[in-house]
Amino acid sequence: MTTLIPRLFGDLSDLFEPERPMFAGHVIRVEDSLTDEHYQIRAELPGLDPEKDIQVSVDGGVLSIHAERREQEKGKTRTEFRYGMLSRSVRLPGNADLSAIRADYDKGVLEVTVPLKATEPPARQITVNAK
């Protein structure tokens, strides 16, 4: 029975080894908040140069954050850091003001603020009066 499981599912030890990621590329950890005035997303990106390593873009109502952490050669060392491409995309609210998005990076945290336009009043039914 113990030899059947690896044949069916492969070597599951890959799931527990940080040196061998299960997925190509890594997901950026984020937190977000929504108020009546703005949508804000904060991304955890420590140790990066915002001018060289981080790109923020918006296309079709989707905000995308791409970053790359480059590995520094130090000889034989043990590391649990993740290197390579990082990315995260989120759909923006329908009333987002795409022309006024602001991104700031401070102490390893990227903060993107998306102002929201005033929403249109809801549709309503107009009563037709007979004369």
CATH value at residue 85:
2.60.40.790
pLDDT, residue 11, reads 46
Closest CA to 39 of 120, 119, 118, 113: 113
Q: Please state the φ and ψ torsions of residue 112, each to the nearest 5 degrees.
A: -110, 125
Summarize pLDDT for 34-60 with one digit per residue, the tens: 999 999 999 999 989 999 999 999 999
Give the pLDDT mean for 99-116: 96
77 vs 115, higher pLDDT: 115
Q: How many domains does the chain have?
A: 1
Confidence of residue 97 (pLDDT cuts 50, 70, 90): very high
Reported as half-sphere exposure (CB side, CA atoms, 13 A), residue 127 has a value of 3
Tell me whether residue 110 is in a domain.
yes
Q: Which residue range forms the structural domain that includes residue 35? A: 19-115
For the whole model, what pTM was predicted? 0.68
DSSP-based three-state secondary structure for 88: strand
